Each structure stands twice: as structure tokens, then as C-alpha cells.
Structure 1
Amino acid sequence: MEEEVNNEREAYTLVVRKPCFGLPTACPSCLSLYIYLKFAQLPFLLDFNSTYPDSDQIPYIESSDYVAYNNENGGVIESLKKDGIVDLDTEFYSVPEWISTKAMVCSWLGDAIMYELWVGSDSSSAEKIYYPDLPWPIGKVLFLKQVHTVKQRLGITKDNAEQMEEEIYKRANIAYGALSTRLGEQNFLFENRPSSVDAIFLAHVLLTLQALPESSVLRTKLLEHANLVKYAEKLKMEFIEAGSSSSSASYFQSDPPSSASRRGPSNASSKPRSKPKRQKTREEKTFRKRAKYFVVTQLVAVLLFLTFMNRPDDEVELEDDEGYGYDD
């Protein structure tokens, strides 16, 4: 009985953005972390946070006095590795092809799904994922603000928009072809066992197939590779719909003894449920404190953004030319 109480106390809670499009969470970073934990068979409880859609700390995972945020140490998956909790990639760090494949999935495909969600012709998917619970005006302005940020990140301007779109889809198509060849008829991309690459890529495929509209160029290119679609459907059924089952146990090798003691109960469910109150950690208190200022900062951002967007172009040009149009 005492052992069960201790295990319950050490159970992990994964905090993500809310479910959407038939997925446990439709945020790319949240879904890849969710799948990674499923691959690792690390028991966790699932909780949702839709109050602060712009927070870069989500997703995060917590257990007792342990918290790992998305915006620290290279992300939650990297934190779990560094802290000795779970690492599916131990065997692949010295494999050049694995390293290059992960870089391709994170960059080329990461840019492609980001482009489709925020810059593509149909923006409804991103709004449903990130801003469903906000009043329409605030949600719309935050969406436009994020679109501006994504364009800056991808280097998209009015002058090169068509060229960048073509380049993004070209790279995505090359990536799909390479991954299709790499996968073949295997269950996973490397050594027929899961790694973080599979978690990130599977999240990408599921979002592309289920969250993007049928008119999506990215979705159309993905559907050209039948084995990638089959790969996603099989793993979704095995790890997401059915949960961690006995049939998936053979894919995962035990963690080092140092991390085994930090696991939760083996029969823990990933469905949301209430937790007993516990003392907040310093990291949690910091997160809560920052969260209090979210509404104020976003309202200020909305006002500044609207001011910037409504500013006449003529006014900007006059200011730029002022003092330089006269010959002394």
C-alpha cells in the first residue's frame, strides 16, 4: 500500500493544448511530446491548458518537485534525456543518417507544417488549435500577430512570398521521398524501434492528414507516399488509440536504474483526471506569476499591432524621406 502511494506521488502530468481534429492534442510540439512518452511507455496523466495560447512554456511535464518546460534546455524531450528520465535515442547519437534525418524532419517538415497552419490559404486549423476559447476579436488579432511572427521566422516578404512557398513545398516533397525510402515496410525509421525522430515525424503526419484541409498542398504531397500513411495509421492505432499495450512492450528497452525510480505507476492512465493538491514548486510559482500578466501584455500587443497595421503607408514613406529630399 505504501509503495502504491509513493508511485502515485511520482506520477507524471503532461500539460498540453486541448484535443482537436480527433487527436489528443493538435499542437505540433505537444503532440510529438505526447507520442514520445507513449513510445517510452512512461506513465503520465494528461492535463490541458487553453488559457494562455501564446505561452512558449507549453507543453510541459511535472512530477512532484520536477518540472520541464518547452522553452528550456532545448525542449521537454531534451530535458527528459538530460535528467536521466527517459531517452529513446541512446543508440542513435553516433549514427550520421539518424542525425541528418532528424534535422530534416525538424527543419524542412517543421517549416512546412508551420507555413500551412499560419500562412496557408485556410487559417481555420490554427485558430481551432490555439485560440478556440478566446473571444473572437482577441483570438483573431493574436492569430494575425502570430502570422507576422511566422513570416519573419521563415523569411517571407511581399517580394519573395511565391518563391518561398515553392521552396518550402519542394523541400517537404524531398523529405517525404527520402523518409518513404528510409522507412520501406518497417514499423519505425531506424532499427525497427521508436526514437524521437519517429515521435516528431508521426506528429507531423497525423496533423497533416487530420488537421489540414483536403485542399492542402502539403497533405496532397504526403498522400503520394502510401507507406508513410500506413505507418501513421498503424502507430496511431497502437500507441494513441489503444494506449501502451503489451504488444508495444517489445519496442522499448528499460531505462537506466537512475531513472526507473522516477516513474509513475505502471497502470496509470493518460486520461485527464483530478489530482490531489500539493505544494507548488518554485518553477510552477514562476509560471503562475508570469501567467497573471498574460492578459495585460496581450491587450497591449493587440493595441500596438492594430496601430501598426492601420498606419498609412504614405505616412511611413514621408517619415523615411523627411530631411533627405532637399538640396542645400
Structure 2
Amino acid sequence: MAEVYTLVVRKPCFGLPTGCPQCLSSLIYLNFSQIPFQLDFHVNHPHSDKIPYIEVGDDYVAYNNEIEGIIECLKKDVGVVDLDSEVSSLPDWISIKAILTTWLHDALTYELWVGSDGSSANSIYYSDLPWPLGKILYSHKVRWVKLKHGITDDNAVVKKEEIYERANSAYGALSKLLGEKNYLFDESRPSSLDAIFLAHGLVALQALPESSTLRIKFSEHDNLVRYVHKCKTELKDAGTSPPSAPSGSRSQSTQRPKSKSIPKREKTKEEKTLKRKGKYFVAAQLVAVVVFLTLMVTFDITEGEVEDVDAGEY
């Protein structure tokens, strides 16, 4: 009996099968691989860095936060077709991969959390959570992004310009590489880098507001826009357009309702019992809200004390 592949992603939004860039790239890779799979939506903990994850049968789970990421797990551990076998040795491969996973990844992250009003990020990650918890998690993510890029009040403008300049250079290089081809490296054969870039482009063009700097810069390259729209059409033709209700589950041929909790790599009897105790979910969310509020208030008070001390030294 053939193994059943189930890709678990964040919910659909903005006319996309899922609004999450990492989830979308995994979905596109599976479509490119022509592997039949079911698509489920995780609504209980949408902020988890384990999402997306893929289940193979009842015994194997590969998570996005594993060292090499979900696409590498799909190729190596899960045994999905390796789309990169004939192109990964090409001269431009390493540099293009670096551009996609650093410059463009950083630019989209910055745009979602810092460079905009946060409405797109909220729709993708937090809209199903209680408002206080979503607000706290959003604020925490904003702090994390600023810390990662070394953004302070004094250098915010300079850092913003650097991020967008790198993104614009990346779009220029990718536009030149693509030309009039169907895919980045091979006229007839997509790669994992196509999946990553197409996910980026779909989110940039559909999830970001029209005033978004990143969306504007992307739209300046007509061949990149055509490339992304072609992919969107193919996703719809493959049966991965969003279902009417995000709590459902959709495969390429069937649809079945399902709401999932993050599974363990090895599902024990005890874990299956815990999984059924959905009635405790609301209580757990409330506890989480209280804990986060306490931590954030403590952090803000401490930060204020430090600023007062620093001010007194001058």
C-alpha cells in the first residue's frame, strides 16, 4: 500500500492555498514533484516554527525547523523526487540560493513585521488566536526581527535602505537569469529554488499591500510577474486553490475536514490520548496570555529602568 503524504500548513488567505511563504514553497515543491498529497491546515498553533510539516503514513513526521528545512527533508528523508539533481552543480546555483535564502528572505520578513502595518502578518499567522495572545506574539516577533538585523531607533532608516537595496539587486539578478524561460535554471524543469522564489513572489504580490516597497520593486520586473502568475494558474489547475473554510483539509483529489495538533515524530499511546483532549485548548491559551503579559510587562519595566540609568550617566 502506497504511503499517504500529508502536508500541514498555515491557513489559506490572500487568494493563496496558504499565506505562509515557507508553507507555500513546500506546497509548490510537492506540486512540482507530482507527488499526490493531502493538504491540512493547522489552526491551533499557527505561530509554531514547526509549520509546515509533512506526515508520511502514521510513523514519520518532518518539521520545518529541522536543521536543513522542510524541502531538504522532502528530498532526503521522505524520498520525494529530488528536483535539483541535474541543476545543483551549475555555476550560479550556490549564489542564487544564497540570494533567495538571505537577501529576499530577510526582505520579506522585514516587510511583514517591521516595514508595514502588520496586517498581512496578522492575517497569515495570528488571526485565529485570541486577540491578546496574537498581539503579544506579534510584538515579540517584531522585537526579534529588529534584533536579528541590528535595527535601532538611530539606524532604522539606514537599515531599511540596505534591506530594500539588496532585495532590488536580487530581483534584477533573478530577472536576468530567468529571461523568457519557464524556470530559473532549466526551460522545462523546475527546481527547489523555483519553489522558494515563486512562494516569495506570490506573497509579495498578493499578501503585501499595494503601497509595499517590496511589492513595488518586484512589480518593476515584468518577466518575474509573468513567472509568478503562471505558477498561480498551475496551482489552481492542480487543485490547490483555497477551500471555503480554512479549518478543512484538501488534497489534490479529495477533501476531508480535519483540525490537527502538532504530532511527535513517534506517536505514543499517551500522546494520542493527549491529542484528544481538545477541551483544554482554551484554558491553555488563557494561561499563555497571562504568562506573556507578565513577561512583557516585566521586560518593559526593566527596559525603562535601564534607559533611566543610561540617561543619568550623561
TM-score category, normalised to shorter length:
0.7 to 0.9
Partner of residue 105, structure 1? 100
Residue 122 of structure 1 and its aligned partner are, at CA, apart by 2.0
Classify 1:42/1:298 alpha carbon distance in 2 versus 1 (closer, same or farther; 3 Å).
Answer: farther
Distance 2:265 2:74 in 1: 19
Aligned pair partner of 2:73 in 73, 79, 95: 79
Distance 1:34 1:287 in 2: 27
Residue 299 of structure 1 and its aligned partner are, at CA, apart by 4.0
Distance 1:50 1:113 in 2: 23
Aligned pair partner of 2:252 in 253, 256, 269: 269
Distance 2:20 2:222 in 1: 24
Q: Secondary structure at the match of 1:15?
A: strand
Partner of residue 54, structure 1? 47
Distance 1:93 1:21 in 2: 32
Partner of residue 248, structure 2? none
Partner of residue 203, structure 2? 207
Partner of residue 70, structure 1? 64
In terms of Rg, which structure is larger? Answer: 1
Q: Secondary structure at the match of 2:86?
A: helix
Q: Does 1:234 find its partner at 2:254?
A: no
Report 1:103-182 matches (<5 A): 103-182=98-177
Residue 136 of structure 1 and its aligned partner are, at CA, apart by 1.5
Partner of residue 191, structure 1? 186
- Counterpart contact for 1:41–1:244, Cα < 8 Å: no
- Counterpart contact for 2:62–2:265, Cα < 8 Å: no
Report 1:317-328 matches (<5 A): 317=307
- Counterpart contact for 1:38–1:243, Cα < 8 Å: yes
Residue 132 of structure 1 and its aligned partner are, at CA, apart by 0.8
Q: Does 1:304 find its partner at 2:299?
A: no
What are the ranges of 5 or more consecutive residues in structure 1 without an aligned counterpart?
A: 1-5, 246-267
- Counterpart contact for 2:168–2:217, Cα < 8 Å: yes
Q: Number of aligned residue pairs: give it.
A: 290
RMSD: 2.9
Classify 1:139/1:77 alpha carbon distance in 2 versus 1 (closer, same or farther; 3 Å).
Answer: same
Q: Secondary structure at the match of 2:44?
A: coil
Cα distance per residue 1:163-186 (max 9 Å; x no partner): 110000000000011111110110
Classify 1:216/1:237 alpha carbon distance in 2 versus 1 (closer, same or farther; 3 Å).
Answer: same
Partner of residue 261, structure 1? none
Classify 1:59/1:299 alpha carbon distance in 2 versus 1 (closer, same or farther; 3 Å).
Answer: farther
Q: Which amino acid aligns with 2:306?
A: V
- Counterpart contact for 1:50–1:133, Cα < 8 Å: yes
Q: Which amino acid aligns with 1:302?
A: L
Partner of residue 220, structure 2? 224
Report 1:17-32 matches (<5 A): 17-32=10-25
Partner of residue 263, structure 1? none
Identity value in percent: 57
- Counterpart contact for 2:133–2:288, Cα < 8 Å: no
The TM-score with structure 1 as length reference comes to 0.80
Partner of residue 266, structure 2? 283
Which ranges of 4 or more aligned residues in structure 1 deviate by more than 3 Å?
Answer: 280-299, 317-322
- Counterpart contact for 1:38–1:244, Cα < 8 Å: no
Classify 1:48/1:287 alpha carbon distance in 2 versus 1 (closer, same or farther; 3 Å).
Answer: farther
Distance 2:209 2:32 in 1: 28
Residue 129 of structure 1 and its aligned partner are, at CA, apart by 0.6
Higher deviation after alignment, 180-189 or 297-306: 297-306
